[in-house]
Chains A and B, each alone.
Chain A
Amino acid sequence: MKVQVDERGYYGNFGGAFIPEMLYPNVEELRENYERIVQEPDFQKQLNHLLKDFVGRPTPLYLAERLSELYGAEIYLKREDLCHTGAHKVNNTVGQILLAQRLGKKKIIAETGAGQHGVATATVCALMGVECIVYMGEVDMARQKPNVERMRILGAEVRPATSGSKTLKDATNEAMRHWINNPTDTHYIIGSVVGPHPYPEMVARFQSVISKEIKAQLLEKKGKENPDYVIACVGGGSNAAGAFYHYYNEEDVKLVAVEAAGLGNHTGESAATTVLGKPGILHGSKTLLMQTEDGQVVEPYSISAGLDYPGLGPVHAHLHETGRATFYSVTDEEAMKAGILLSRTEGIIPAIETAHAFAALNQMSFNPSDVVVVNLSGRGDKDLDTYIKWGKY
């Protein structure tokens, strides 16, 4: 079965645009224009220029020899941690700011969990001289303080989301409310493959540069475009969507998505949506959703602010339902240990989100000839406090 989005924004049973009428014109304007704009030669030229000289693309595909020896496979790391601002998030914000300019929008809003998307948005707004407001859960502001200050240094206003669990879900609610109240001059840069159509597909396309480069780089290194495995962590799922995108319909490539299990999937403190969720509607799309029997959204938990989300992108719900991707879940403790292991074996301290992807290697078994690509979505600078508090190194 081919993985692709239909004209109503559905991937199989998931997706769509469940939005109040107040947001309809904004979303419709985007839907009607984005495909045309992103194909314009001038847009492509400016995007490619910024990805190369501002973001620092292509990012390396690095053969991690010591890690390979440890797990008995040929493991490559896609070095998104080397992107400007420290994670893959900027691939999307560069694309969306260029789009916003062509739509004539004067102001930008965004939501952020770990702060990486907020920093990436504040960065491109500074670059273009555009006003920027970032909503961030009050709890996340406390656990990701350096990123809050980075956004402020870049000239963005960081507004605390004080409703609900005061994390990513609530920051997204507040950003949507802001957009309802400011519908004409403002573009909302969503940071993951979530939200109403066309956001999930649009964000995935901006992130798809990751798998496009992996293909070219593997061809050069191995003489073939396709690895045996592509592994990525999933909160909303933007880095995974980018790493999977050009492999969705390459059946010989096994797609592996790794969710955060927090303190464990049966402790009530987890964010593993495919384990604990069932179909529901959140932030404008039908997807798998952690919820009560009455359909109230459940507050998730993960040590990693970027994975602390009760839903996931509709494309991932579809990949899960069809079995196209295999999902693993990884606890806080397993992720932290994997983060230390990567630091000690390869000299790379990963973001705690990313560390989840590496922890899944322990749950898998490989043939020595297997070519494995792990998407190293972000670096751990922002997480030093969390590493220090955890302390077991």
Chain B
Amino acid sequence: MNRIDQLFQAKKERVLNVYFTAGYPQLHDTVTIIEALEKSGADLIEIGIPYSDPIADGPTIQESNGVALANGMSLKVLFSQLNDIRAKVKVPIVLMGYVNPIVQYGMEAFCAKCEEVGVDGVILPDLPMFEYTSYYKPMFEKHGLYNVFLITPQTSEARIREIDDNSNGFIYMVSSASTTGAKTSISIGQSDYFARIKSMNLKNPTLIGFGISNAETFDKACENANGAIIGSAFIKAISEEGDLEKNIEGFVKSVID
């Protein structure tokens, strides 16, 4: 069974997914960060594949992408770092990235490599549903790789149903109309959206992302979904001076305890 399904079978609330950019702050921090996140209590780990033009991301993640590329990170380097990750951690891992670097790597080769190293799912914000179902879905299924789609407050009910039907693992609920890290809170106005999604009884679990930065926003998100995703705030935390593992532990504990 896919590790993401195992996770949601065992844990239906307060699931914490933490995002970091591969190759940031240093090229070879990837495994250290994954191990420290698992140890500190993150339930799911989302690794960003850095890209030169991340249009859905705000300044914090853009900068981490730029630094990671300058450090020499690429999909090939990332896969080599993840080569024996399953000997080290059990936590489900998803890769998040823009579609161009993956298309250049080759979608079939990418799916095969994900299966080989033990990646459980991917989030590709600029891969449209139509392209996925028309061309790529069989490759994902062949390699047991889950494709996680996003929904936003503007997504129509019909499209949410379509996304739910074609998703596996979980649905990424973008909390508000924004790029990543643009807002540091989630507001009252979002309650209607959250309630609307809850009442739809989707087949997939939901995690809320964008605007989740600390214990308060994490708690609020967890009242409305199976858990939440933290990205920009974590990138800021590991940009701080001091010991990387201690910074990670401190941040995760401050969110979940």
Q: A173-B53, A282-B53, A297-B53 are in contact. Are A25 and B100 (CB under 8 A)?
A: no
Total A-B Cβ pairs within 8 A? 104
Instruction: Judge whether A181 and B101 touch: CB under 8 Å.
Output: no
Q: Which of A25, A177, A184, A282 has the most CB of B within 10 A?
A: A177
Stretch at the interface among B33-41, B123-131, B197-205, B225-233: B123-131
Please pick, from B52, B99, B151, B177, the residue contacting A296 in the complex, using a CB distance under 8 A: B52
> How far apart sit A213 and B62, CA to CA, in the bound complex (Å)?
45
| Beta-carbon contact of B177 and A293 below 8 Å | no
Asked if residues A282 and B100 are in contact (CB atoms below 8 Å), the reply is yes
Could you tell me the distance in whole angstroms from the C-beta of B21 to the nearest C-beta in chain A? 14
Q: Point out the residues of chain A lying under 8 angstroms from B76, CB to CB.
A: 294
Instruction: Determine, out of B138-146, B152-160, B188-196, the stretch whose residues face the partner at the interface.
Output: B152-160
Taking the nearest CB of chain A, how far is it from the CB of B209, in angstroms? Answer: 12
Contact present for A19 and B126 (CB under 8 Å)? yes
B174: contacting residue among A17, A21, A169, CB under 8 A: A21
B133 contacts the other chain (CB 8 A): no
Contact B177 A22 (CB under 8 A): yes
CB <8 Å contact, A18 and B128:
yes
For the complex, give the distance between the alpha carbons of A213 and B153 in Å: 45
Q: By the criterion of a CB under 8 Å from any partner CB, how many residues of chain A are at the interface?
A: 33
Contact among B126, B150, B152 for A18, CB-based, below 8 A = B126
Q: Which among B104, B177, B179 is the interface contact of A291 at CB below 8 angstroms?
A: B104
C-beta contact mask, B64-102 vs A, less than 8 Å → 1, else 0? 001001000011100000000000000000000011111
Residues of A within 8 A of B101 (CB): 294-296
Report the Cα distance A182→B183, complex, angstroms. Answer: 13
**Interface membership of A176, Cβ < 8 A:** yes
Q: Is residue A183 within 8 Å, beta carbon to beta carbon, of the partner chain?
A: yes
Contact (Cβ within 8 A) B104 A295: yes
For residue B174, which residues in chain A have a CB less than 8 angstroms away from its CB?
21-22
Q: A19-B128, A21-B150, A22-B152 are in contact. Are A164 and B103 (CB under 8 A)?
A: no
Question: Would you call B239 an interface residue if the criterion is a C-beta within 8 Å of the partner chain's C-beta atoms?
Answer: no
Provide the bound-state CA to CA distance between A36 and B126, in Å: 27
- Shortest CB distance B135–A (Å): 11
In whole angstroms, what is the CA distance A282 to B182 when docked?
23
CB of A8 closer than 8 Å to a CB of B: yes
Chain A residue at smallest Cβ distance from B150:
A21
A25 touches B182 (CB 8 A): no
Q: Is B178 an interface residue (CB 8 A)?
A: yes
CB distance from A307 to the nearest CB of B (A): 19
A283 CA to B53 CA in the complex, in Å? 9
Please determine whether A21 and B149 come into contact, CB atoms closer than 8 angstroms.
Answer: yes
Q: How far is the CA of A183 from the CA of B58 in the complex (A)?
A: 16
Do residues A180 and B56 form an inter-chain contact, with CB atoms below 8 A? yes
Are B151 and A21 interface neighbours, CB within 8 A? yes
* Residues in A1-35 with C-beta less than 8 Å from chain B: 8, 16-22, 24-25
* Contact, CB under 8 Å: B128 / A16: yes
Q: What residues of chain B have their CB less than 8 Å away from a CB belonging to chain A?
A: 51-53, 55-56, 58, 62, 66, 69, 74-76, 98-105, 125-128, 130-131, 149-152, 154-156, 159, 174, 177-179, 182
Q: Chain A: residues with CB nearer than 8 A to chain B?
A: 8, 16-22, 24-25, 163-164, 169, 173, 176-177, 180-184, 280-284, 289, 291, 293-297
A-B contact pairs, 22 of them (CB 8 A): A18-B99, A18-B131, A20-B55, A20-B125, A20-B126, A20-B150, A21-B155, A24-B159, A169-B53, A173-B53, A173-B55, A177-B56, A181-B179, A280-B104, A281-B98, A281-B103, A291-B104, A294-B76, A294-B104, A295-B75, A295-B102, A296-B51
